Amino acid sequence: MAGGRGRPRSACTPCCCSAWRWPCCGASARRRPATTVCPSRSCPTRTPPRSSNGRRPNGKRPSGKRPSGKRPSGKRPNEKRPNEKRPNEEKAEREKAEREKAEREKAEREKAEREKAEREKAEREKAEREKAEREKAEREKAEREKAEREKAEREKARREAERRRAAEEARLAEERRLREAAERAEWEALQRAEAEAAERARAARRADALAWYQAAIKDRVDRTWVRPPSARTGQRCEVEVEQIPGGDVVAVRILACDGDAQFRQSVEQAVWRASPLPAPPDPALFERRLLFTFTVPAP
């Protein structure tokens, strides 16, 4: 074998395409390949199967160990290389490639359009969702503000009602206080008037009793008094008498007197002789010190 690794020097007629000989060509090889189908495009018995290595025949030598022995040299005049293609096939392949490219571009355009439509749809849906969310948020905000206003109005009304109720209660309490104060003042005035009247009555009774008591003492002293020669009708002496319970006299003092010493002495002796003095009609009228005026009666 000389030249390229996959190209033989000589070939069989009409379809030698590798270092082996194929039965379709009427030749034999030292080593039979894995496939019995000739890979040459010019072989009349060829159908385009896949080779044993999984590749479509393209005129190249199949993979594996290079066969031993010499390859025939030289070429036939009309022999074509396995990798050479006819113009119609090349044109068909180009057209096919162009169709496939056009289909791919069309598919890509359609895919891009679908993706664009999907993006636009997603954007529209997103915008609609955002719009719906904004509208929902605005409605919720408006409802919250409305609820807060209503709550504030209710709270204001409640505070106003409480204020009015408190003012009314304060007014009623003040009226009740004033009324009670007036009633208490009236009752106290009545009590004071009654107390004053009772005190005046007691004072009057006491004065009457005291006057009677003093008159009784004076009468007792008058009966025991011995008129001296120098005494004249109408003479007076202020006498202070100290007594103990029971009426016994323990001291006599002449405070003021318009008579002489003999007259004064006669009055003092009369008080001592009048002991014990008369008892008061009311024990509350008893006084340890008595003050009375002794007047000389007419003869």
Each residue of 269-294: b (16+ CB within 10 Å) or e?
Answer: ebbeebbebeebeeeeeeeeebebeb
The verdict on pTM exceeding 0.75 is no
Per-residue pLDDT, 173: 94
Which secondary-structure segment (H or E) carries 43? none
Per-residue pLDDT, 39: 53
Per-residue pLDDT, 41: 54
Summarised one tens digit per residue, pLDDT across range 18-42 is: 444 445 545 444 454 555 555 555 5
Per-residue pLDDT, 2: 40
Per-residue pLDDT, 38: 54
Residue numbers in the chain where pLDDT is lower than 70: 1-85, 299
Per-residue pLDDT, 255: 87
Spans of all domains in the chain? 14-78, 209-295
CATH architecture of 209-295: 2-Layer Sandwich (3.30)
CA distances from 271 to 53, 97, 292 (A): 177, 174, 11
CA 232 to chain centre: 108
Locate 116 and state its tokens. Answer: 């664009």
Q: Which long-range contacts (CB under 8 A, 24 or more apart) does 91-98 make?
A: none
Summarised one tens digit per residue, pLDDT across range 257-286 is: 888 888 888 888 888 988 888 888 878 778
Question: Residue 4 phi/psi, 5° resolution?
Answer: -65, 160
Per-residue pLDDT, 227: 85
In sequence order, the 6+-apart residues with CB closer than 8 A to the CB of 130 are none
Q: Which long-range contacts (CB under 8 A, 24 or more apart) does 29-32 make?
A: 29/67, 30/67, 30/68, 30/69, 31/67
